Homo-oligomer: A and B are copies of this chain.
């Protein structure tokens, strides 16, 4: 059976697991005050070119978004996000559960446009009754987006400018950040992210770790007293060093970059294979998530042999499907999938 359902189906990348094995019996203080965590912080600051940045390690993505957003917003503020944004749709109300409204913006292949953000904010404050409405207190974007698409450097610069002009923080959800930075044609670097965002997180769970996300805060005025908030949100790991050990491994010997490049090049091969066989991409994604329009009989023919995500029907005869690669996808997996596809 081949697996393209998602990028969190296997455990940890062998180099990450190896470090967990080597350090397993060591005894360290808890809650992230250990030296592995300190070294992981230093490596991330260096990779971001942000020596002053504060780095916090949390366990998972929904938890990270809920904690960060709760920490950034005042009671009367909400978070701006694409209507397709993960926090708008797939976080079980975790944002609202801590009291904040998600203010949705139109999405274009999963992306929000700087002019839409600017217009939202202008319209809001031009409305005389604005104090009766929820104020836009920050902007949330995902990079890559939920559809695998990427913002160009110019688009990120524009979003950053709009946010800073409006004095609201720009927060980037990097659950799959590695698969953006490693993508062919991505003109954005980790340093650009650190420079343009006020804070963001580097996803570990989907990019080689067993679990873990690294929140990088480059705007020093944000998230004071974050530790108790992390604990309140159930995001504090007793054996915090497990996060430090994993991120130290991910940011050693260029592992994080290697994972991103490999998974996205395999995704590209997969995409070209599908298109060569005449199947159309639904979204122009350069990252590890690929979306295709497949005839239903092809969907049925593949199912017994390959796992992938069904997104819904498109008319009578076709369906939209998602194939995802990750650090543990192999060349042979792609070859085998394409052979399945060719068979008549």
**How many angstroms between the C-alpha atoms of A137 and B104 in the bound complex?**
21
Q: Are B29 and A5 in contact (CB under 8 A)?
A: yes
Closest to A6 in B: B30
B92 touches A96 (CB 8 A): no
Cβ-defined partner of A225 (8 Å) among B26, B74, B238: B74
A125 on the B face (CB < 8 A):
no
Bound-state CA distance A66–B74 (Å) is: 16
Known: A60-B236, A76-B225, A93-B76. A27 touches B3 (CB 8 A): yes
Docked complex Cα distance between A147 and B10 (Å): 40
How many residues on the A side are at the interface (Cβ–Cβ under 8 A)?
71
Which residue in B90, B102, B239 is a CB contact (below 8 Å) of A11? B239
C-alpha gap A94/B228 in the complex (Å) = 9
A131 interface contact, C-beta 8 A: yes
Asked if A228 and B93 sit within 8 Å, CB to CB, the answer is yes
Which residues of A, 67-126, contact B by the 8 Å Cβ criterion? Answer: 67, 70-71, 74-76, 78, 89-94, 96-102
Q: Flag if B94 contacts A328 (CB, 8 Å).
A: no
Partner of A70, one of B66, B70, B75, B94: B75
Beyond A10-B26, A25-B328, whether A97 also contacts B133 by CB under 8 A is no
Minimal beta-carbon separation of A313 from chain B (angstroms): 11
> By DSSP majority rule, is chain A's interface helix, strand, loop, or mixed?
loop
* B225 pairs with A60, CB closer than 8 A: no
Say if the beta carbon of A28 comes within 8 Å of chain B. Answer: yes
A199-235 interface mask toward B, CB cutoff 8 Å, 1 = contact, 0 = none? Answer: 0000001100011000000000000010111011111
A3→B238 CA distance, assembly (Å): 16
A154 at the interface (CB under 8 A from B): no
Cβ contact within 8 Å between B93 and A101 = yes
> Cβ of A102: which chain B residues have Cβ within 8 Å of it?
101
Complex contacts, A42 vs chain B, CB 8 Å: none
- Contact pick for A242, options B5, B132, B211, B328, CB 8 Å: B211
The reply to whether the CB of A9 lies closer than 8 angstroms to some CB of chain B is yes
Question: Could you say which of B10, B24, B27, B133 contacts A17, with CB atoms under 8 Å apart?
Answer: B24
A92 & B62 in contact (Cβ 8 Å cutoff): no
Query: Distance (Å) between the CB of A78 and the closest chain B CB?
Result: 6
CB contacts (< 8 Å) of A67 on chain B: these are 234
Contacting A239 at CB < 8 Å: which of B14, B62, B205? B205
A53 at the A/B interface (Cβ < 8 Å)?
A: no
Q: Does A341 contact B (CB under 8 A)?
A: no
Q: What are 20 inter-chain pairs, A to B, with CB distance below 8 A? A: A9-B30, A10-B25, A10-B26, A11-B20, A14-B24, A27-B328, A60-B234, A60-B238, A63-B234, A74-B225, A75-B232, A92-B134, A92-B231, A92-B232, A93-B134, A94-B233, A96-B96, A96-B100, A210-B239, A211-B242
The 4 closest A-B pairs by CB, nearest first: A63-B234, A11-B24, A76-B228, A92-B231
